[in-house]
Chains A and B, each alone.
Chain A
Amino acid sequence: MHRTIAFCLSLFSTLLLIAGDPSWQGKSIAQWNEKDAKQVLVNSPWVKRAAVSLLFQPSEDQLRAGGYMGGGKGVGLDSLELTTLVGGGNRHPNSVAKKPGSLLVRWESASLVRKAEAKLEDSNAPGWDGEYYAVAVYGVPVEAGRLDEPGRAGELKRLGLLKREGMKDVKAAKVEITASGAGLATVLYLFPRTAAITPDEKRVEFSAQLGRMFLAQYFYPKDMQYQGKLEL
């Protein structure tokens, strides 16, 4: 009896193992249904949720000492109370805990990602011209990232990096910021393909600084293959 149970469980686990393969992997792209496309865009090696860290926010004076102006936090006149002058209140009314969140990062230039977006007719999928490694960060708060300020794209470009072991960091060649509504935006980083990424590389790190937000995320080329071909 117990042998039978053990056998059934082993069989069940084997079936589960077989069923564990994402359905889209075993199909050609033409055969994908909507669910497959969603899976590619939500849970695949090309899509990650990157933890967001809030960088130390210098005051305006400290920024100016560093050659920059603007970018401090204006806490507003409402922060001033009698206790500001004499004490007894919250001495740092702005100092609420800074909790990190996460942002969705997608390796856009992989052809299967593009196909999945096309399959779902995703109007928010970013577009670009030229041959680049394209990585998009979705849902960036415009205000926190100060994305609507002049010259911001240039700064983002300098602070968007692809890091590979044993190789020089690659800076973004181009950055495009696209409003996506609700105070959010998609930031697309385009990296030159001058040194091609190979499947043998252990990992590729994407890092970006958006205003005072910083995120870094690994991608693993070994896993980013579709039907035996590296898709980047």
Chain B
Amino acid sequence: MQKRVIRVRMLNVAVFTAAMAGLVTGQLLTAQTASSPQIIASAEPPPETTTTAPAPSTTGAAQQLTVLDELSAMKRRIEKLEEELKAARGETDTASPAAPNRLSGTPRAVLAPGTPDPSRAVAAVADPNPTSGALSAADQSSSQPETPPAGAAPAEPAVDLQTPFAFADFTWMLSNSRNHDEVLDGKYFSGEFRVDTNYMYDYEHPIDHTLIGTTEGERTGEFVIQALNIGGDFHAGNMQGRILTQFGAVSTAVPRNDASYSQGQWDLSDAYRYLSEMYAGYHINVQHGLNIQVGDFLSFIGLFSYYSFDNWMYQPSYVSSNTPWFFTGMRAQWFPTNKLKIEPWLINGWQTYAKYNGREGVGGQILWRPTANLDFVWNTYTLGRDTLGNNNRSRYHEDDSQEWKYYENPNRFMHRMAFTVTEDVGCETGGTAQSGQNVVCTHGYVNGRGPSQNFLGIMAYHRWWFDKDRFAAEVGGGVMSNPGRYLVLLPPINGANATSGTPYFPEAPGLPFKAYDFQLGFDYQPSQWVTWHVEWTQRGSNVPYFSGPGGITPDVVPGTYVNVGPPGSYVPGFTPDLVKQERRWIFALMVKL
């Protein structure tokens, strides 16, 4: 019996030694049949999963066991990969990747910049999945009739550490578009198309359907094409350009808040009103990128995007709605790391097409995303002289936002939660002898000083996501105080605009304005490009400001509500119906392709 045990042990040792000899020397690894189990052993584990170099001559028992364990694990991994590959082919409903032609007759050519690959179209048809192409690509060379088997996939997904803010998915953020794919994307142009429509039900039922104090809605009780944008990004090498048109209500509602074009000629308001973004720039390959761009570009002061599709809520709070949507000028975007952007601006003014007075505005943004779940942005605006006809009054503003995604569990119905907070503080200082309206940032009327003229505001939003982004719910709101009313959106009473002003709601030093708002929202997102949104919003102010039932349009001829005289002019016998509170429902359909 004992002899038998010894013989069996010897037999086992001999078989084991034979197998190991073949394995570790690699001779068996060159077996011609891909299905040979020994081939698995040649797969080179990637660095993420490999900690030691393969030993050419392993003899110790412990090492043998380790090799066998690794061999077994790799075999399982290869089998799993093969199953996944089959599954992937089934999902994409494509034929097996066509094996690339041998290159014996293929002319060899270095791809010059911009040179189209003549075989590209063929490759695209043969293998729409680039990774499938990668799988079969190795034996393209005539010197590789037999290829080593594919290695296992890295255990951890690789991360792009070069491209700024590409190390994670930030589509969850307020002000970021949530679509992952572009419908229209090409080699030199990435197209973009947006439609934003709404119907608002105002409990005051203004008879002239006019909404006040927001740029995200102009009319109530009727269907409105809020915005329609067509354009996209041009990119060729390091050249960049972007154009996005804007049609719809925003093309009058936003430019009318800018009085800068009134100084001088050529009516830039008309020239630019149908373009929301228009700039060209150059990308310099230094550190993680440096862009120099000139034109008209979006401002993210106030966190919310100019485009409602990108936002959690349709009606932004005052901190966003009353601060700039765009700038005209130049900016540099410097990315010292892939998580940090430093973006200085030299611009004509505070949401202006032109320059009011003798000095440009200077400012900038610092954007820092340390993790996939955190976002910090600091916006600063200084020095701009943004009061029409007042060459000595300077504006300063600081706007900071934080966003935090604090919960993510894709396996749950309610799978994500995040919130944002934005704080704004700003002021104006100085004045002119002609106007006699010197203002100060703080301590107004103290020791003979003029009135204080400043802005304080805060807003906060929270969002929940459900059913793999199919649904979302939001709550949020904010408050603001703006003595002097220099950032209060002027009610368009009798067609008033920022140039004309209105005697019915003056905006001048010393006049108070405080307001609050809150919203409850719900989204149905049938696809990544479409949002159906319903929202309750309530806003209030310390002075009559919102449209009442009588509206803000003169009815000199009873029953007709039309403007009379020059925009914003006084109309004898007419008094706009302004109230202190507004409550409304917003129904919106937004598309972004």
Given A94-B180, A150-B114, A184-B133: A48 and B138 within 8 A (CB)? Answer: no
Please tell me if the beta carbons of A42 and B147 are within 8 angstroms of each other in the complex.
yes
Please tell me if the beta carbons of A104 and B138 are within 8 angstroms of each other in the complex.
yes
Chain A, residues 204-227, CB within 8 Å of chain B (1/0): the string is: 010101001110111010110000
Name the A residues within 8 Å of B28 (CB-CB).
20
Name the B residues within 8 Å of A5 (CB-CB).
11
Please tell me if the beta carbons of A53 and B84 are within 8 angstroms of each other in the complex.
no
Given A74-B184, A159-B162: A62 and B170 within 8 A (CB)? Answer: yes
In the bound assembly, the distance between CA atoms of A43 and B395 in angstroms comes to 69
Given A13-B14, A72-B190, A182-B123: A53 and B289 within 8 A (CB)? Answer: no
Given A10-B14, A142-B120: A102 and B27 within 8 A (CB)? Answer: no
Q: Pick the interface stretch among B48-56, B203-211, B397-405, B445-453.
A: B48-56
Beyond contacts A20-B21, A100-B154, A180-B141: 18 other A-B pairs, Cβ-Cβ < 8 A, are: A6-B14, A13-B19, A43-B30, A54-B131, A55-B160, A61-B177, A65-B165, A69-B242, A75-B182, A125-B141, A143-B123, A144-B130, A177-B111, A183-B124, A184-B123, A185-B117, A212-B160, A216-B48
Given A43-B26, A61-B177, A62-B170: A120 and B143 within 8 A (CB)? Answer: yes
Given A179-B119, A181-B100: A92 and B528 within 8 A (CB)? Answer: yes
Given A60-B192, A117-B143, A140-B134: A48 and B44 within 8 A (CB)? Answer: yes
Name the B residues within 8 Å of A60 (CB-CB).
182, 185, 190, 192, 233
In the bound assembly, the distance between CA atoms of A125 and B130 in angstroms comes to 23
Chain B, residues 58-100, CB within 8 Å of chain A (1/0): the string is: 0000000000000000000000010011011001100000101
Q: Does B238 contact A (CB under 8 A)?
A: yes
Name the A residues within 8 Å of B138 (CB-CB).
49, 102-104, 138-139
Name the A residues within 8 Å of B183 (CB-CB).
74-77, 79-80
Shortest C-beta distance, A31 to chain B (Å), equals: 18
Please tell me if the beta carbons of B24 and A148 are within 8 angstroms of each other in the complex.
no
Pull 7 A–B residue pairs with CB atoms less than 8 Å apart, ordered by A. Answer: A20-B26, A49-B150, A56-B157, A62-B176, A96-B92, A101-B135, A218-B53
Given A9-B18, A62-B171, A158-B285: A218 and B140 within 8 A (CB)? Answer: no
Q: Does B106 contact A (CB under 8 A)?
A: yes
Please tell me if the beta carbons of A141 and B130 are within 8 angstroms of each other in the complex.
yes
Please tell me if the beta carbons of A223 and B164 are within 8 angstroms of each other in the complex.
no
Which residues of chain B have a CB within 8 Å of any CB of chain A?
Answer: 7, 10-11, 14-15, 17-19, 21-22, 24-30, 42-44, 46-48, 50, 53-54, 56, 81, 84-85, 87-88, 91-92, 98, 100-101, 103-104, 106, 108-111, 113-117, 119-120, 122-124, 126-127, 129-154, 157-160, 162-171, 176-177, 179-188, 190, 192, 233-238, 240, 242, 283, 285, 288-291, 310, 333, 335, 338, 341, 367, 468-470, 524-530, 591, 593
Shortest C-beta distance, A148 to chain B (Å), equals: 5
In the bound assembly, the distance between CA atoms of A138 and B103 in angstroms comes to 13
In the bound assembly, the distance between CA atoms of A223 and B26 in angstroms comes to 12
Please tell me if the beta carbons of B468 and A91 are within 8 angstroms of each other in the complex.
yes
Name the B residues within 8 Å of A65 (CB-CB).
164-165, 170, 176, 341, 367
Which residues of chain A have a CB within 8 Å of any CB of chain B?
Answer: 2-3, 5-6, 9-10, 12-14, 16-17, 19-22, 37-39, 41-43, 47-70, 72-77, 79-80, 83-89, 91-92, 94-104, 116-117, 120, 122-125, 138-145, 147-155, 158-159, 176-186, 202-203, 205, 207, 209, 212-214, 216-218, 220, 222-223
In the bound assembly, the distance between CA atoms of A150 and B142 in angstroms comes to 29
In the bound assembly, the distance between CA atoms of A72 and B238 in angstroms comes to 16
Name the A residues within 8 Å of B122 (CB-CB).
182-183
Please tell me if the beta carbons of A97 and B530 are within 8 angstroms of each other in the complex.
no
Shortest C-beta distance, B171 to chain A (Å), equals: 7
In the bound assembly, the distance between CA atoms of A59 and B170 in angstroms comes to 10
Given A56-B166, A184-B140: A49 and B43 within 8 A (CB)? Answer: yes
Name the A residues within 8 Å of B233 (CB-CB).
60, 64, 69-70
Please tell me if the beta carbons of B26 and A9 are within 8 angstroms of each other in the complex.
no
In the bound assembly, the distance between CA atoms of A59 and B48 in angstroms comes to 27
**Closest partner residue, chain B, to A76 (CB atom):** B183
Name the A residues within 8 Å of B133 (CB-CB).
101, 139, 141, 144, 183-184
Shortest C-beta distance, B9 to chain A (Å), equals: 9
Please tell me if the beta carbons of A220 and B140 are within 8 angstroms of each other in the complex.
no
In the bound assembly, the distance between CA atoms of A222 and B52 in angstroms comes to 12
Shortest C-beta distance, A155 to chain B (Å), equals: 7
Name the B residues within 8 Å of A205 (CB-CB).
47
Please tell me if the beta carbons of A124 and B143 are within 8 angstroms of each other in the complex.
yes
Shortest C-beta distance, A115 to chain B (Å), equals: 12
Shortest C-beta distance, A72 to chain B (Å), equals: 4
Please tell me if the beta carbons of A124 and B108 are within 8 angstroms of each other in the complex.
yes
Please tell me if the beta carbons of A80 and B593 are within 8 angstroms of each other in the complex.
yes
Please tell me if the beta carbons of B114 and A104 are within 8 angstroms of each other in the complex.
no
Please tell me if the beta carbons of A149 and B114 are within 8 angstroms of each other in the complex.
yes
Select which of B110, B113, B529 is within 8 A of A84 by beta carbon.
B529
Name the B residues within 8 Å of A96 (CB-CB).
88, 91-92, 129
Shortest C-beta distance, A97 to chain B (Å), equals: 5
Name the B residues within 8 Å of A124 (CB-CB).
103, 108, 140-143
Please tell me if the beta carbons of B526 and A6 are within 8 angstroms of each other in the complex.
no
In the bound assembly, the distance between CA atoms of A13 and B122 in angstroms comes to 49
In the bound assembly, the distance between CA atoms of A210 and B313 in angstroms comes to 38
Name the A residues within 8 Å of B103 (CB-CB).
123-124, 180-181
Please tell me if the beta carbons of B162 and A209 are within 8 angstroms of each other in the complex.
yes
Name the B residues within 8 Å of A83 (CB-CB).
526-527
Shortest C-beta distance, A223 to chain B (Å), equals: 7
In the bound assembly, the distance between CA atoms of A123 and B542 in angstroms comes to 81
In the bound assembly, the distance between CA atoms of A47 and B26 in angstroms comes to 13
Name the A residues within 8 Å of B176 (CB-CB).
61-62, 65
**Closest partner residue, chain A, to B10 (CB atom):** A6
**Highest count of chain A CB atoms <10 Å: which of B137, B164, B530:** B137
